[in-house]
Amino acid sequence: MGDILGYARVSTDGQNLDRQIDALIAAGVSRKHLYCEKMTGTKADRPELNRLINDLEINDTVIIADLTRISRSTKDLLEIVDKIKNKGAYIKSLKDTWLDTTSSNPYNDFLLTVMSGLSQLERDLISQRTKEGLVSAKARGRNGGRPSKQNEKAEMVMALYDSGMKIADIVRNTELSRSTVNRIIKNHSSKVEIAAV
């Protein structure tokens, strides 16, 4: 049996890796086998991910908190999985239980392709709803000039919330803490009530 390696990523310096790291350690990853980086997943060149793949040996297992941490698209995920397989290693997602190449079940590759495609569809739909929500918010006068980073996050939270998304999903998609998301929604609700008086 090889080593268990963990990969964690957040999109910006202001975001926190602790939740992912705690989950990876709980899954058996030692601190010396953690590969962490703070950069957007849209970049093809992710130095820590590349280093992890280069360091892999036969029978090693890569653990991720969820597939959005490692891949930018279905195509990207399948390419990364192929690189890991070509090293004689495995990959497993804690959240996406279908992403697990550690067993020799013949349905694994089929499930991987289908489920990663569905996950990509979900991300695309969320992105579309976010854009529609932001357009709607702008039409209602909630967007004057170029917003600050903080205001952009608040606008995104409210756009997702207005589109009917659950708070747990908003937390996952914005990478903000639950308390921050709740505070943004509460502040917005208070402003709406004041305006209505």
Q: What is the mean pLDDT of residues 8-16?
A: 84
Question: Sorting pLDDT into bands at 50, 70 and 90, what band is 25?
Answer: very high
**CATH number of domain containing 17:** 3.40.50.1390
User: Higher model confidence: residue 181 or residue 145?
Assistant: 181
121 and 90 in a common domain: no
- Residue 11 bears catalytic tag: yes
In-domain check, residue 111: no
pLDDT for residue 65: 93
Residues spanned by the domain of 53: 4-103
95 and 61 in a common domain: yes
Highest mean pLDDT among 28-32, 45-49, 119-123, 162-166: 28-32
- Written as one string, the DSSP assignment of the chain is ---EEEEEEESSTTS--HHHHHHHHHTT--GGGEEEEES-TT-S--HHHHHHHHH--TT-EEEES-GGGT-SSHHHHHHHHHHHHHTT-EEEESS-TT-B-SS--TTHHHHHHHHHHHHHHHHHHHHHHHHHHHHHHHHTT---SSPPHHHHHHHHHHHHHHTT--HHHHHHHHT--HHHHHHHHHHHHHHHHHHH-
**CATH number of domain containing 143:** 1.10.472
Question: Sorting pLDDT into bands at 50, 70 and 90, what band is 163?
Answer: confident
pLDDT for residue 55: 96
Catalytic residue among 11, 73, 136, 163: 11
122 and 99 in a common domain: no
Predicted TM-score of the model (pTM): 0.58
In-domain check, residue 110: no
